[in-house]
Amino acid sequence: MDLRRLTSFLAVAEEGHFGKAAERLFRSPASVTAHIKQLEHDLGVHLLERSPVRLTPAGERFVGHARGLLAALDAAMADVAEAGAARALRIGVMSNGSAELTPAAVQAFQRACPEVPVEFVALDFTEHVSALVQNRVDVAFVRPAPVDERIAVDVVTTERRIVVVPASWELADAAAVSLDDVLELPYVSLPEHTPRQFRDYLYFADARGGLSPHRSRSHAVTPHEVLTTAAAGRGAGSALESFQRYYPWPGTVCVPVLDAPPEHSVLATRSDDRNPAVRTFRSLTTSLARELGPRLRLA
């Protein structure tokens, strides 16, 4: 069925006048009249009385069908257009991500794939793995590397470790410290559902010989909470060295831990993800990590 016939019929039915319907549709009165006659011929019934113009019983019943057909067409076109639109790439970022490499990777991706929208999702310490597994993000800059067969990992930075302590503590006056100086500090507490890899990272677990850390009564799942706890003199945190460039905070001091093994930040993705945008972002990020790392103050 010619959709022009439907639109002409509905316009005449709503305007009650062939001339006004033609003006509304930017068509000639003759073409509107022809559309109505052709539609009536196709259906085998009269839809409109001509003088005065009004709907016949058949026309009254057909109005609803005509509107439904046109609405269904509009919905189908909108659905197809949505399916054809590029899906946004959702980028999860924990803390300061992979330092200067994170914005560099995003900018490179936007240049390479300008048609793909980018959305940022801030991740807290408990979302080390879950944000990807639960399909809330497509790629994630996290630390340390998740150990999970569902997650693919690319190491993109390797950095020195620091501790974040209250400026009022004696330790804050040191230019640098050793692991022996920091293992007995009261660290911020993490929720029970925090992934073990992140707990071990925060508390320098490898250096503890199986002993549990001292924990502050203050809990934290974000850098802001770590910093406010430290500024209040209520506990310490730990991070990668780039943390202090992104989070200078009154009342806190970041002190390098010289003999702590360097730690990685990584780009994590789902192992089974075949999204071309994810593959492109992963390739660009790993290339930038190799080529630009030293120039981005990551060495």
Outline where the chain has alpha helix (H): 3-15, 18-25, 29-43, 57-84, 101-112, 130-133, 179-182, 196-202, 223-231, 243-246, 276-292
Between 217 and 85, the more confident residue is 217
**Common-topology check for domains 3-84 and 89-157+263-296:** no
Helix axes 3-15, 57-84, angle to 10 degrees: 130
Average pLDDT, integer, range 208-237: 96
pLDDT of res. 99: 93
Asked if 252 and 227 count as a contact pair (C-beta separation under 8 A), the reply is yes
Instruction: With a cut of 70, say whether residue 189 has pLDDT above it.
Output: yes
Quickly count: other Cβ atoms within 10 Å of residue 78's Cβ. 10
Q: For residues 138 and 89, what is the distance between their CA atoms, to the nearest angstrom?
A: 6
Instruction: Give residue limits of the domains in the chain.
Output: 3-84, 89-157+263-296, 161-256
pLDDT of res. 72: 87
CATH fit for domain 161-256, picks 3.40.50.1970, 3.40.30.10, 3.40.190.10, 3.30.750.24: 3.40.190.10
Helix axes 276-292, 101-112, angle to 10 degrees: 130
> Percentage helix, strand, coil, to 5, in the chain?
45, 20, 30
Q: For residues 199 and 270, what is the distance between their CA atoms, to the nearest angstrom?
A: 22
pLDDT of res. 82: 57
> What are the structure tokens assigned to 83, written together?
């399916």
Tracing tokens 């439904």 back to the chain, one arrives at: 68
Rounded mean pLDDT of the chain? 92
> What are the structure tokens assigned to 235, written together?
């506990």
250-271: pLDDT as tens digits: 999 999 999 999 999 999 999 9
105-156: pLDDT as tens digits: 999 999 999 999 999 999 999 998 999 999 999 999 999 999 999 999 999 9
The fold for domain 89-157+263-296 equals D-Maltodextrin-Binding Protein; domain 2 (3.40.190)
Q: Is 151 helix (H, G, I), strand (E, B) or coil?
A: strand
CATH architecture of 3-84: Orthogonal Bundle (1.10)
Instruction: With a cut of 80, say whether residue 80 has pLDDT above it.
Output: no
Q: Identity (one letter) of the amino acid at 121?
A: V
Tracing tokens 């120039």 back to the chain, one arrives at: 295
24-38: pLDDT as tens digits: 888 899 999 999 899
Instruction: With a cut of 50, say whether residue 299 has pLDDT above it.
Output: no
Instruction: With a cut of 60, say whether residue 63 has pLDDT above it.
Output: yes
pLDDT of res. 91: 98
